Structure 1
Amino acid sequence: MRLASVSVALYGAASVSALTLPWPRAGKLVDLSIFGGRFETLKPEEAKTHKSGAPNTISPPENKNKATAAGADGAAAGGCENPSLRPEWRQMDDAGRQGYIDAVKCLMGRPSAGGDFPGSQNRYEDLVSLHQQLTGSIHMVGQFLPFHRYYVHVFESLLRDECGYGGPMPWWDETLDAGNFGNSPVLSAQWFGTAPPLVNGQGACVSDGAFAGLTLHIGPGGGQSDHCLARALDESQTAQCNREFVDSCNSHDNYADMESCAEMGPHAYGHNGIGAVMQDVSPSPGDPVFFLHHGFVDRNWRAWQNADPANRLYQIGGYSNTQDPKQPLTLDYVLTSKGIRPDVRVNEVMDTKGAYLCYDYL
């Protein structure tokens, strides 16, 4: 996997105790050098001309409805007649937002399944551990988008099945806040907590909002040690989560080029812009805003599919691995959650209104 290395110039060696952030709600300061590599990015001016160089496939009709027994936790066998609707965070009222936050905190209060999830201290962290373990096979590969669509579904199913959540799965339209994440209704003291700014290679623990004082046990990097939920907001990075960049990536006709652009474009800049835990690739779901961010990424993919469903709904491309010899990704590639929910094939998550998934975006 190609991950951008941590820059010595960016993260510096300033003493935590010697630095005071110009941020009235700053928690304990955090040196960003403790975190793993950042997400690799694509320059905005390269978005329209970017070529992945990977193979691309449009599925033949006979493969489009081939499902496995794995769909037991998905839509009914008859298909998706009444898809759930995923609202943008602004479209939810305060009661709905609070219901979602309460369900996430419920998962954090439930015991870990243990076993396959070393270091996990709760059910939410089982998901973080899963992402940490699979990082090399779910980033910079063709299955990046299908896996994370499946991953958000697994998360949603846990909220519903284990915490009784009955509300919608929200997403965050980051194009509305590009370059201004710090004033978004998501990163607010009322909800996910504010984001202290990046200063001299330092961030800070989140000290307000629903997840103030949260201790994480998965990460930093590939480790398992106690650390706080930290952020280090860099609006020069979040500025690249803009509509023009999204549209440039979605202007590609083939999946392989679109996927590569999306992954290294707005997706990567959103992670890196929030910083600290979110920029630490493998345990990045430790920041609960991760799932709203990936709703944004998934919606952008769905919009690309909807622009030409006959040719794009089951179009796939890229490689399934990063080491030679590379193998072209196929619709039969298996996506796993290591027993949290049944495994599925890529084919089963291509249509958000199919036999397995059943949702659409508002």
Structure 2
Amino acid sequence: MRLSGGVIGFLYGGGAVSALSLPNFFPRAVRHVDLAPFEEGSFTLLPPEQAAADAQKEDQFDASKVTQPSEVGTGSMGTEAMAAGEDAAAAGTCETPAIRTEWRDLADADKKAFIDAVKCLIGKPASGNFENSHNRYEDLVWVHQQMTNEIHMVAQFLPYHRYYLSVFEAELRDQCGFEGALPWWDETKDAGNFAKAPLFTDDYFGPLPAKTEDGGTCIETGAFGGLTLHIGPGGAFTDHCLSRALDESLTAQSNSDFVSNCNSHSNYSEMESCAEMGPHAYTHNGIGAVMADVASSPGDPIFFMHHAFVDHNWRIWQNPDPDNRLYQINGYSTKTDPKQSLTLDYVLTSKGIRPDVTVQEVMNTLGGYLCYRYNY
């Protein structure tokens, strides 16, 4: 059964209140959703056996062809974005990086501050620049939906989503006064047992119900319980609940061995495709429902914790060999022929939410435009 309609309200104590404000002790009927519209646009998976086999092969990598920042041109694609990046970087220094802390290591007060900031963004009026967006948070979801084909299954997948996380973080700061750094979730510690992960509680992201014969389950408790989404599934704009449909056989592949196999490649494009179709994709499909839909998956706030994990894994790949990996970018920026090679001056955009930048600006998390590191 598909759910539709506006924000759902309930009568309680003589007045109508939204599901977001309903006390946790008040009984709620379980609501299910048809998973077909979400799974039609689900993520492509790389078999773990293939990832392991590929990790044993020798990459065709020529270190002499690694483009260095000083070699980047200012062609028609990159001039405006590079200028914006230079302004944002404010002289290109990163003296005091923010620390992105794994959820388990985060103080309870910091967890609450982050959750409150996300709820604040959901409660802010939409900018009005994005049709069918109902709030400031959905502005971000709209951008991801509209750019889906340009940022998935292409080499800019990792730099784009690194940039996208920074846009989200900036919105939390500027719109809602968030003073912390974006947390991240080490999914390898919960592989195959996501339901028990410390994020999925009534204090934070709400439960992670299993996929059933009836489909996915609407999330009614937790900080985002009762949330109605308006972007998606796919390219549609249909009111639907925040729902999940856990499959632990898929989340089991978000493990340290799979991450290591992807990061064993010395060639960026080999590592990137493994990461995108490996743990990244398995977590999306494993959490299911909203998260399984490539286009509108940011509708579930757990998206940002997951992509911080993906970004962390990329940074871990970069760290051991910065001369060859910090600015290494290759592969294709388009899916169809004639394919275009991805370069450091390729433009990343958030459709006006934040200034456009180039891939170069986001390659180094300590480079100035970005200024953060992970706690491990």
Normalised by the size of structure 2, how large is the TM-score? 0.86
Q: Supply the RMSD in Å over aligned alpha carbons.
A: 2.2
Of 57-66 and 30-39, the range deviating more from structure 2 = 57-66
Which amino acid in structure 2 is aligned with residue 199 of structure 1? T
After superposition, the Cα gap between the structure-2 partners of 1:100 and 1:69, relative to the gap in structure 1 and judged at 3 Å, is same
Answering whether residue 93 of structure 2 is matched by residue 79 of structure 1, we say: yes
Which amino acid in structure 1 is aligned with residue 34 of structure 2? D
Alpha-carbon separation, structure 2, partners of 1:223 and 1:244 = 37
Aligned residue for 2:67?
Answer: 59
Q: 1:119 aligned to 103, 122, 132, which one?
A: 132
- 1:315-351 residue CA offsets vs partner (Å, 9 max, x unmatched): 0011101111111111110000000000000011000
Q: 2:113 aligned to 84, 99, 104, which one?
A: 99
Pairing of 1:32-43 with structure 2 (within 5 A): 32-35=35-38, 36-43=40-47
C-alpha contact (below 8 Å) 1:64/1:314 kept by paired residues: no
Alpha-carbon separation, structure 2, partners of 1:201 and 1:356 = 46
C-alpha contact (below 8 Å) 1:55/1:328 kept by paired residues: no
For these two proteins, the number of residue pairs brought into alignment is 340
Alpha-carbon separation, structure 1, partners of 2:209 and 2:53 = 35
Of 106-115 and 131-140, the range deviating more from structure 2 = 106-115
Alpha-carbon separation, structure 1, partners of 2:83 and 2:143 = 22
The SS at the match of 2:281 is helix
- 1:220-250 residue CA offsets vs partner (Å, 9 max, x unmatched): 1110011000000000000000000000000
Alpha-carbon separation, structure 2, partners of 1:72 and 1:204 = 45
Normalised by the size of structure 1, how large is the TM-score? 0.89
Pairing of 1:218-297 with structure 2 (within 5 A): 218-297=231-310
Q: 1:334 aligned to 324, 333, 347, which one?
A: 347
Alpha-carbon separation, structure 2, partners of 1:344 and 1:55 = 27
C-alpha contact (below 8 Å) 1:149/1:349 kept by paired residues: yes
Of 32-41 and 306-315, the range deviating more from structure 2 = 32-41
Identity level (%): 62
Which structure: larger Rg?
Answer: 2
Q: Which ranges of structure 1 fall in alignment gaps of 5 or more residues?
A: 1-14, 18-23
Q: 1:157 aligned to 151, 170, 181, which one?
A: 170
After superposition, the Cα gap between the structure-2 partners of 1:113 and 1:237, relative to the gap in structure 1 and judged at 3 Å, is same
C-alpha contact (below 8 Å) 2:45/2:277 kept by paired residues: yes
Which amino acid in structure 2 is aligned with residue 127 of structure 1? L
- 1:86-128 residue CA offsets vs partner (Å, 9 max, x unmatched): 000111121110100010011111111123x221000000000
Q: Which ranges of structure 2 fall in alignment gaps of 5 or more residues?
A: 4-26, 75-80
Alpha-carbon separation, structure 1, partners of 2:72 and 2:369 = 12
Alpha-carbon separation, structure 2, partners of 1:65 and 1:294 = 30
Answering whether residue 195 of structure 2 is matched by residue 187 of structure 1, we say: no
